[in-house]
Amino acid sequence: MTRIAILDDYLHLVEGAADWASLPVESIDIFDNTILDQDALIERLAPFEVIVTTRERTRFPAEVLERLPNLKLIAGTGARQANIDMDAANRLGITVCITQNVPSRGNSTSELTWALILAVTRHIAIEDRQMREGEWQTRVAEGIGGKTLGILGMGRLGTLVAGYGKAFDMDVIAWGPTLDEERAAANGATYVSWDELFSQSDVLSIHVPLTDLSRGWVTAKEFGLMKPTSYLVNTSRGPIVEEQALLNALRNDEIAGAALDVFAVEPAKENALFGMEQVIVTPHLGASTTEAQEKVAQQVAEQAADFLLSGAVSNAINMPSITAEEAPLLQPYMALADYLGSFAGQLTRSGITAVGIEYEGHVADLNTRPLTAVVLAGLMRPMVDSVNAVNAPVVAQQRNIAVSETRHDRRGDYPTCMRVTVTTDRRSREVAGTLFADDRARIVSIKGIRMDAEPTPHMLYIANSDVPGIIGFLGNTLGEAGVNIATFALGRAEAGGDAIALISIDQALDAATLAAIRAHEGISQAASLRFDTD
């Protein structure tokens, strides 16, 4: 059975906020410490199929993911997963999910931002310590009313912080990579240039995500632009700011102080910034409120449960999401998609240049993106090791396979139908299928020739000329080999023209029998097929 690991839950907030014990798994292991050594991390996580990460604390580079062969799902308690090598996750077929639409999480981070702004400008930490040591009023605090609040990144969090700034009668200026004057004004801020943001701010608060672009954005150059009376506040991600540049700026009195909830390396147990009295630090508390953690934990537990029980994948960032409501509707179509892709893949012997998937009837009204991914996975499985619905679109792109998806409103011969056309450098091959009333998949057309065949674990595909004796020959040959025929589906384009057969047999066909069938002059193609019908 499946095993789940919950990582870096220092205060056991995630563990206690959801009913993890109700999940249908072998075990749920809670780890409240972060392992930085890769070999030790791999040894710990090797048995687990599902990993819940807590706020990007444990890093998953490619060299770690490649050594976790059991891993199928990473569910993160955050809106992004900057700690995961997504290229490697895609390549390895590991689904990665995030948590979204948790309003209290944004509120908790913006609330902490303002707690830090007030604490650092009013010298609260210093005064608290001095008073406990017998001192009284050791320094004069600074007010913030009428001062300028600079917002680096005006998304949801930046907008909340800006709103609080207006309540404190601050002038708000902002810059963001996608921000413009109109959007800034709509949120109560004045849009400024990058340099103006740093040179004009009395308090500069960072609210951009950590990306390859934003890593190391705030450097010695930016600190050189800031007022010596200004403060830096970072509740986003540590690596956005060059810590050594910040340390130098504080030592050289280029800025008055800093308030930090995030650090370049976390958990941060040692840091030169900790010894500076003009710096206030907190241990990444942005989303660490009871309300936020409960909602996040409940969402990630639901993701894990849906994934295990029905295959639903919500808020996935590297595959089409499937809601818990959609999963039961899509499940029979997923099986049909896999059969059609697998059928085409097992018969393709030359390089694929294009794949077209058409959805007609009832299926066209559903979420078809996951079905397309499943078709591609089935198609490429005979050619690519470890391909699945997560990495199949990426593999197709890497192989320069053009993928098209078409929905038809029309109703054809069947109430619902999927058609897959595979184009190679030699030919095009088409196969279509439907679901009968019992949701059992049927192959109903191959190369435009109608038929009715239910996929079974072992099948024999025959393309032949429509001449007498073929059926008898096949029956005799299989009988002599001790192979029992379960069902025999036939179709032809016209009398005396091309014909096909899909024969369900009770066991895999041996090479000698297949060779004997291929030797018949009336048979143009014979292939032993294998379908996963579990």
Q: How far apart are CA 130 and CA 187, in angstroms?
A: 40
Lowest-confidence region among 199-213, 276-290, 331-345: 276-290
What residues are annotated to the active site?
A: 237, 266, 284
Q: Domain residues of the chain, as ranges? A: 3-98+291-310, 103-281, 325-442, 447-534
Three-state DSSP class for residue 134: coil
What tens digit of pLDDT does each residue of 140-184 get?
A: 888 899 999 999 999 889 999 999 999 999 999 999 988 889 989
pLDDT of residue 309: 74
Enclosing H/E stretch for 438: none
Contact criterion met (CB below 8 Å) for 233 and 120? yes
Three-state DSSP class for residue 475: helix
Whether residue 317 is predicted with pLDDT greater than 80 in this model: the reply is: no
Q: Give the rounded percent of residues in the chain with a pLDDT score beyond 70.
A: 97
Instruction: Copy the structure tokens of residue 193.
Output: 């240039």
DSSP 440: -
Average pLDDT over residues 131-144: 87
| Single pTM value for the model | 0.62
pLDDT band at residue 116 using 50, 70 and 90 as cut-offs: very high
Which residues, in sequence order, are CB contacts of 306 under 8 Å at separation 6+?
312, 313, 314, 324, 327
pLDDT of residue 483: 95
pLDDT of residue 318: 78
Three-state DSSP class for residue 322: strand
Class of domain 447-534: alpha beta
pLDDT of residue 102: 56
Bridge partners for 30 per DSSP: 6
pLDDT of residue 101: 61
Q: How far apart are CA 161 and CA 26, in angstroms?
A: 44
pLDDT band at residue 313 using 50, 70 and 90 as cut-offs: confident
pLDDT band at residue 190 using 50, 70 and 90 as cut-offs: very high
Give me the chain's average pLDDT, please.
89
Average pLDDT over residues 313-317: 77
Q: Any idea which fold 3-98+291-310 has? A: Rossmann fold (3.40.50)
What tens digit of pLDDT does each residue of 38-95 get?
A: 999 999 999 999 998 877 778 899 999 999 999 999 988 776 777 899 888 888 889 8
Q: How far apart are CA 340 and CA 334, in angstroms?
A: 10
Exposure of 208 in the CB half-sphere (CA atoms within 13 A): 23
CATH assignment of 325-442, among 1.10.357.10, 1.10.10.60, 3.30.1330.90, 3.40.50.720: 3.30.1330.90
Comparing 3-98+291-310 with 103-281, is the CATH topology the same?
yes
What tens digit of pLDDT does each residue of 360-405 get?
A: 999 999 999 899 999 999 998 888 777 888 888 888 888 889 999 9
Q: Any idea which fold 103-281 has? A: Rossmann fold (3.40.50)
Whether residue 235 is predicted with pLDDT greater than 80 in this model: the reply is: yes
Whether residue 450 is predicted with pLDDT greater than 90 in this model: the reply is: yes
Contact criterion met (CB below 8 Å) for 472 and 488? no
pLDDT of residue 104: 47
What tens digit of pLDDT does each residue of 10-47 get?
A: 777 777 767 777 777 888 898 888 888 899 999 999 99
Whether residue 248 is predicted with pLDDT greater than 90 in this model: the reply is: yes
Q: How far apart are CA 384 and CA 387, in angstroms?
A: 6
Contact criterion met (CB below 8 Å) for 8 and 53? yes
